[in-house]
């Protein structure tokens, strides 16, 4: 069956001397991998139309038994060239695309994830020097939520107790995937990460913030960001086998 759709290129790899393997995220078909035969040939219609972070209109034949679809036509709609001028934004975009590629099952529709990925890649194109660092951890948290793997922050993950003003829930248990109360902490398995109230409030706000604008405007102190970075990193590693690309992205942040 042949299908036409809009798609964001997550990753482009050589397949042979002349062909490319391209991983895409689409709304209707979710994540898919296509073979772009002859893409490196001088007269190929694919030349200049495919690269990582591009949004393209693609025409493809659905997957064969090998799991590969065949790319028939591809036209770049939004190449996001300015993203390539900013190393921090570019590395953050690579990390995000890698997470999407590794955590998204193939084939299932991904309407919300597609909108999220497109909006983050678009905002990373903007010439704001701190855009990558301000959005990185919000992006990780949002992505976990969109894929049904959101950490639980509203109740103790052991006893179900809700926190209150005198009993804040601000210790994250990594094995339990969310907060744990002081009573349950002595029996909790390690590792766990205490955060200050401000950092916990930021995580809760990020989890329900769908748009890049409000996420960008929420500023963390360096101490809060360091705590969030460690806690989210441990959750991603423990539950999702976090990409090594995270360390590269973090090392480039100011
Ligand atoms: Zn508890």
CATH class of 1-79: mainly beta
184 CA to centre of ligand 1 in angstroms: 4
242 CA to centre of ligand 1 in angstroms: 27
SS3 per-residue string spanning the chain = CEEEEEEEEEEEEECCCCCEEEEEEECCCEEEEEEECCCCCCCCCCCCCCCCCCEEEEEEECCCCCCCEEEEEEEEEECCHHHHHCHHHHHHHHHHHHHHHHHCCECCCCHHHHHHHHHHHHHHCCCCCCHHHHHHHHHHHHHHHHCCCCCECCECCCCCCECECCECCCEEECCCCEEECCCCHHHCCCCEEECCHHHHHHHHHHHCCCCHHHHHHCCCCHHHHHHHHHHHHHHHHHHHCCCCHHHHHHHCCC
163 CA to centre of ligand 1 in angstroms: 9
207 CA to centre of ligand 1 in angstroms: 21
Q: What is the mean pLDDT of each run of 10 residues along the chain (254 residues)?
A: 96 93 95 93 91 96 80 96 89 92 89 96 88 89 92 95 88 95 87 93 94 90 92 89 71 69
Residue 128 has what pLDDT?
Answer: 80
Residue 254 has what pLDDT?
Answer: 63
183 CA to centre of ligand 1 in angstroms: 6
35 CA to centre of ligand 1 in angstroms: 50
225 CA to centre of ligand 1 in angstroms: 25
User: Do residues 35 and 70 touch, judged by C-beta distance below 8 A?
Assistant: yes
Residue 88 has what pLDDT?
Answer: 87
236 CA to centre of ligand 1 in angstroms: 22
192 CA to centre of ligand 1 in angstroms: 13
Residue 79 has what pLDDT?
Answer: 96
182 CA to centre of ligand 1 in angstroms: 7
CA distance 114 to 13: 21
At a CB cut-off of 8 Å and minimum separation 6, what does 248 contact?
91, 95
165 CA to centre of ligand 1 in angstroms: 16
Domain ranges of the chain: 1-79, 81-254
187 CA to centre of ligand 1 in angstroms: 10
170 CA to centre of ligand 1 in angstroms: 12
CATH homologous superfamily for the domain 81-254: Recombination protein O, C-terminal domain (1.20.1440.120)
169 CA to centre of ligand 1 in angstroms: 9
pTM, two decimal places: 0.91
Burial 42-81 (b: 16+ CB within 10 A, else e): eebebeebbbbbbbbebebeebeeeebbebbebebeebbe
């Amino acid at each position: 069956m042949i299908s036409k759709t809009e798609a964001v290129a997550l990753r482009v790899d050589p397949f042979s001397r002349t062909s490319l393997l391209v991983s895409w995220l689409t709304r209707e078909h979710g994540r898919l991998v296509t073979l772009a035969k002859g893409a490196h040939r001088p007269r190929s219609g694919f030349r200049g139309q495919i690269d990582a972070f591009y949004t393209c209109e693609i025409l493809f034949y659905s997957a064969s038994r090998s799991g590969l679809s065949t790319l028939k036509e591809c036209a770049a709609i939004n190449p996001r060239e300015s993203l390539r001028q900013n190393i921090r934004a570019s590395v953050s975009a690579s990390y995000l695309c890698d997470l999407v590629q590794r955590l998204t099952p193939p084939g299932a529709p991904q309407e919300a994830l597609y909108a999220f990925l497109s909006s983050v890649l678009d905002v990373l194109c903007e010439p704001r020097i701190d855009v990558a660092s301000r959005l990185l951890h919000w992006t990780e948290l949002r992505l976990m939520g969109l894929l049904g793997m959101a950490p639980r922050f509203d109740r103790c993950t052991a006893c179900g107790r809700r926190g209150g003003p005198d009993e804040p829930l601000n210790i994250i248990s990594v094995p339990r995937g969310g907060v744990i109360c002081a009573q349950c902490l002595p029996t909790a398995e390690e590792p766990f990460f205490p955060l200050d109230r401000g950092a916990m409030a930021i995580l809760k706000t990020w989890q329900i913030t769908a748009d890049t604008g409000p996420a960008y405007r929420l500023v963390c102190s360096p101490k809060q960001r360091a705590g969030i970075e460690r806690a989210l990193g441990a959750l991603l590693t423990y539950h999702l086998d976090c990409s090594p690309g995270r360390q590269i992205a973090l090392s480039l942040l100011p």
